[in-house]
Amino acid sequence: MKHVILMRHATAGPADSDHERPLAPQGRREASRMGSAILALGAEYEPGYILCSSALRARETWDAVRASLPGAPAAILRGALYLASPGRLLSELQALPGGIDAVLLIAHEPGLSQLTRSLANRASDEFAERVRVGMAPGTLAVLRFGTAEWERLAPESGELVEFLSPRGPSVR
């Protein structure tokens, strides 16, 4: 069984370069809150591998989340995750090493919400509506897959376990 946590970076502030936008103070609070939410999911969801966009706001999101996950590994930064398409995000997941059971992927919209919609095989109407309009900053989509091999992740092969926003209620 494989577990995937898809996370949109937290709220960012302004900067001259989109890639170098830092988190706003609100974003730091959001990311910290979501780090605690990941910990509360339980040991089976504790990420053994972190894929993170190279954008500053994504890296700073991971730094704030990591404070709640003391045993977490260092993040693997990927420039290819910056504003990536859902297909590119899925390819990154499918290429993960076999010994990993849970991954946290921190990236951007609209690719994350499109990937979430694609992977979830059954979802509540509320989830479908919320993800249709996109994932708010700091939002987590938690999926479980009944496969032992990352390369077998495919559209509609995952079960949505949680859809958590730092600003709203959980959706299952």
Q: Quick one: tokens of 141?
A: 């989509």
Instruction: Tell me the domain boundaries of the chain.
Output: 2-164
Residue with tokens 């059971």: 101
The pLDDT-based confidence of 146 (bands split at 50, 70, 90) is: very high
CATH 1.10.3720.10 fits 2-164, yes or no: no
Residue 104 has pLDDT above 50, yes or no: yes
User: Is the predicted pLDDT of residue 34 greater than 90, yes or no?
Assistant: yes
pLDDT at 62: 98
For 122, phi and psi rounded to 5 degrees? Answer: -140, 130
**Tens digit of each residue's pLDDT (9 = 90 or more) over 78-98:** 999 999 999 999 999 999 998
Around Cβ 44, how many Cβ atoms within 10 Å? 10
Which one-letter DSSP state was computed for residue 146? S
Q: How far apart are CA 84 and CA 157, in angstroms?
A: 21
Q: With pLDDT > 70 as the criterion, what percentage of the chain qualifies?
A: 90
Q: Which positions ≥6 away from 140 have C-beta within 8 Å?
A: 5, 6, 7, 34, 37, 38, 162, 163, 164, 165
Q: What is the CA radius of gyration of the chain?
A: 14
Output the pTM of the full model. Answer: 0.93
Q: Which residues contact 28 (CB under 8 A, 6 or more apart)?
A: 10, 60, 64
Give 121's pLDDT tier (boundaries 50, 70, 90): confident
- Portion of the chain with pLDDT greater than 90, in percent: 81
